Homo-oligomer: A and B are copies of this chain.
Amino acid sequence: MSQSYRVAILGATGAVGTELLSLLEECRFPLADLKLLASPRSAGQTLMFQGESLTVEAVGDRAFDNIDIVLASAGGSTSKAWADRIVAAGAVMIDNSSAFRMHPTVPLVVPEVNPGAAAEHSGIIANPNCTTILMNVAVYPLHRVQPVQRIIAATYQSASGAGARAMEEVRLQSQAILDGKAPVPEVLPYPLAFNLFPHNSPMTETGYCEEEMKMVNETRKIFSEPSLRISATCVRVPVLRAHSEAINLEFAAPFSPDQAREILSQAPGVKLVEDWQANYFPMPMDATGRDEVLVGRIRQDISHPNGLELWICGDQIRKGAALNAVQIAELLIEKDWLRPAERAIATPQS
């Protein structure tokens, strides 16, 4: 008999939290017990799981006792607030927030790319940012064959990246505009319906916003390429839940599109979507609800002999967040890496 595990979802009522719930249901995760945790404000709500109604509990001091795995998706401050307690309780926290991603002792893992890094955890494993995960799944199979020298990405990010309330806001704003009324921004700083704007994460001193620097720094860490040259422009678009990215890759020598196509057609987590005759390539409506990152429009960059252009779409909530976290949990179980690596367990101070 295979073992089963006690799992808690911290932030169970959010967009990623509810997706975690349905993924655990779908993927026949070996659950002994499932605990739903959220802020006191959301406690008492009920969510359906495998035909049963589960009540969301308020997170508290004893919430993580007897838990093996915590899937955290309640934002950075919540993750930071509870990390010590989770690790002290002997659980592993797989954290969707950005709180610990760049900490040197916290593995940052995309299972298709750097599964081995997960073995080195000290109680916390970070799930990368959505745009990073999607790009890494598509680019790494090529990078393995011939190291990429430079990446220039432009993103087309859906409302789901700002949470369930932002998705609802886009719907409400769209209806308002169709009715001839003014759209009201509340969650996002500007109207997103029939509009778009550069990603509203805080600006860094480089002129890149934090979302863009996540793509740069997280990719470097995941690829173990600390000086990989990356530039990104992140943009929110009025799509509900899948992100798209135009990715320009530069290699040290030519990389034929046919070879790239061959590699990506067999790459884990990738689905090649290219019908050149029908002009049919990855679209958010097709990526929504799917596990794979859709990749297509693989072209020789006509502006550089060693360049390749890719176009990708992926479900931001699924592979961009919840699915990647569940895959990390499955990896820990499969490899028997749930117990922290043999060294002092210490919560990083971020």
On A, residues with C-beta under 8 Å from B are 150-152, 154, 156, 170-171, 174-175, 178, 189-191, 194-198, 200, 202-203, 206-209, 216, 229-231, 233, 235, 237-240, 244, 246, 248, 257, 276, 279-281, 283-285, 297-304, 307, 309, 311
> When chains A and B are docked, how far (Å) is the Cα of A302 from the Cα of B207?
10
> When chains A and B are docked, how far (Å) is the Cα of A304 from the Cα of B216?
13
Q: Output the nearest chain B residue to A179 by Cβ-Cβ distance.
A: B175
Q: Mostly helix, strand, loop or mixed at chain A's interface?
A: mixed
Option from B280, B283, B299 in Cβ contact (under 8 Å) with A207: B299
Contact A233 B297 (CB under 8 A): yes
Q: Output the nearest chain B residue to A209 by Cβ-Cβ distance.
A: B279
Q: How far is the CB of A217 from chain B (nearest CB, A)?
A: 11
Contact A302 B239 (CB under 8 A): no
> When chains A and B are docked, how far (Å) is the Cα of A304 from the Cα of B152?
10
Q: Beyond A237-B156, A244-B235, A279-B209, is A195–B285 a contact (Cβ under 8 Å)?
A: yes
Most buried by B among A191, A209, A248: A248
Q: How far is the CB of A134 from chain B (nearest CB, A)?
A: 15
> 11 additional contacts, CB 8 Å, given A154-B233, A207-B309, A237-B237?
A152-B303, A174-B194, A178-B178, A194-B284, A198-B311, A206-B302, A207-B297, A229-B303, A233-B311, A235-B246, A238-B239
Contact A309 B233 (CB under 8 A): yes
Q: Beyond A195-B239, A231-B304, is A206–B299 a contact (Cβ under 8 Å)?
A: yes
Contact B244 A207 (CB under 8 A): no
Residues of B within 8 A of A198 (CB): 279, 281, 297, 311
> When chains A and B are docked, how far (Å) is the Cα of A207 from the Cα of B260?
14
Residues of B within 8 A of A197 (CB): 281, 283
25 contacts between A and B (CB under 8 A): A152-B152, A152-B248, A152-B303, A156-B235, A174-B194, A175-B178, A190-B280, A194-B239, A195-B283, A195-B285, A196-B237, A196-B244, A196-B283, A197-B283, A198-B281, A198-B297, A202-B279, A230-B302, A230-B303, A231-B248, A231-B303, A231-B304, A231-B309, A233-B246, A237-B238
Residues of B within 8 A of A302 (CB): 206, 208, 216, 229-231
Q: How far is the CB of A218 from chain B (nearest CB, A)?
A: 15
Q: Output the nearest chain B residue to A240 by Cβ-Cβ distance.
A: B194
Q: Output the nearest chain B residue to A297 by Cβ-Cβ distance.
A: B198
Residues of B within 8 A of A307 (CB): 231
Contact A239 B196 (CB under 8 A): yes
Q: How far is the CB of A192 from chain B (nearest CB, A)?
A: 10
> When chains A and B are docked, how far (Å) is the Cα of A276 from the Cα of B209?
10
Residues of B within 8 A of A279 (CB): 189, 198, 200, 202-203, 209
> When chains A and B are docked, how far (Å) is the Cα of A235 from the Cα of B189?
24
Q: Beyond A152-B152, A197-B281, A311-B233, is A203–B276 a contact (Cβ under 8 Å)?
A: yes
Q: How far is the CB of A104 from chain B (nearest CB, A)?
A: 21
Q: Output the nearest chain B residue to A189 by Cβ-Cβ distance.
A: B279
Q: How far is the CB of A216 from chain B (nearest CB, A)?
A: 7
Option from B170, B206, B231, B303 in Cβ contact (under 8 Å) with A151: B303
Residues of B within 8 A of A175 (CB): 178
Contact A195 B276 (CB under 8 A): no
> When chains A and B are docked, how far (Å) is the Cα of A195 from the Cα of B282?
11
Residues of B within 8 A of A303 (CB): 150-152, 229-231
